[in-house]
Amino acid sequence: MSKATLAELEAVSAVARCGGFRAAARELAVSSSALSHAIAELENRLDVRLFNRTTRSVALTEAGERFVAEIAPALAAIDSALENMGESSTEISGLLRINTFRAASQMLLPLFLDYMRRHPHVELEIATEEALVDVLGQGFDAGIRFGDTVPPDMIAVPITSTMRAVVVGAPAYFAGRDRPAVPADLMRHRCIRGRMPTGKLYRWGFEKRSQAVLIDAPGPLTLDESGLILEAALEGAGLAYVPEPSVTEHISSGRLESVLEDWTPPYPGLSLYFAGRRHIPARLRALIDLIREQGHALD
């Protein structure tokens, strides 16, 4: 009988852990069809069925449960050996690719620069795009998004605590205009509208004393990139609805002024997320450790 390869054992373990081929394939960075084919070949060689498959679910057979339980200690030992080898290296090196959106990259630039100072042999690549992408499929080590948008099959590490959006405008915009006191007042203002990657216009959300309001902000200018929305607000083009950390310095300097502050509720902050691989590259682990060390210093 042919022996099983380490890749095949990792595949069986991943499918059992993730509860399906699709999630396991994302974790292992392979296609679902290739993963299913590899396990089917292993089952044929072993002459035993490890998984019961239906169109809606994948579950271990009794034999599969025994098999996974028996190989788990060996896989754990191999992972431990790999981690120990990584930790024994004097320098962390290699390419670390992170996908995020522009506003987050600007907000987290001090974190990235601190990381580079600590690990000068690492090449750090930050790719920004507004749309949520398949980080594994696109060759990234991790992504950074708001916590409520992180894919459920990913491991998330919080970077910031809860955040909130604020409505801001330049002093030049407010000159000669009444400031909005309640969200409905926005209907008489020029708002800089944002278009989401889905193509839909972003609705401005407000809440006060359990009263929730969604506003289809009116305005002649629509942009699909958060950095451009901020730049337009700084130029006095209208009111913008943006994450508070991205405008803190502008508010402090007087370049922007905020309104409706008692109407803006908090939402989940930024998180680093990555696939639940059994072995995390040392360069990614170092970034995770730095995030945890700094706690909410980046809020």
The per-residue pLDDT for range 30-86, each reduced to its tens digit, is 888 888 888 998 989 888 999 998 877 888 999 999 998 888 888 877 776 766 665
The C-alpha angle with vertex 195 and arms to 105 and 132, in degrees rounded to 5, equals 50
Q: Report which secondary-structure segment, H or E, holds 251.
A: helix 248-253
* Residues 240 and 185 placed together within one structural domain of the fold: yes
* Residues 188 and 232 placed together within one structural domain of the fold: yes
Q: What is the pLDDT along the chain (299 residues), one digit of tens a residue?
A: 467 888 888 889 888 888 888 888 877 778 888 888 889 989 898 889 999 988 778 889 999 999 988 888 888 777 767 666 655 556 788 899 999 988 889 889 999 999 999 999 999 999 988 888 888 778 889 999 988 888 888 889 999 888 888 999 999 999 999 999 999 999 999 999 998 877 889 999 999 988 899 999 999 999 988 889 999 999 999 999 998 888 999 999 999 999 999 998 888 889 999 987 556 888 999 999 999 998 755 55
Range of the domain at 256: 163-267
Q: Which residues are paired to 126 by β-bridges?
A: 98
* Residues 177 and 263 placed together within one structural domain of the fold: yes
User: Where do we find the tokens 């690990």?
Assistant: 119
Q: Which of 61, 88, 115 is the last residue of a domain?
A: 88
The CATH code of the domain that includes 273 is 3.40.190.10
* Residues 54 and 184 placed together within one structural domain of the fold: no
In a domain, 224, yes or no: yes
The CATH code of the domain that includes 243 is 3.40.190.290
* Residues 231 and 83 placed together within one structural domain of the fold: no
| 161 neighbors 270 (Cβ within 8 angstroms) | no
Q: Which of 88, 110, 141 is the last residue of a domain?
A: 88
Tens of pLDDT, residue by residue over 216-231, are 999 999 998 888 999 9
pTM of the model: 0.58
In a domain, 299, yes or no: no
Task: Give the whole-angstrom CA distance, residue 189 versus residue 287.
Answer: 43
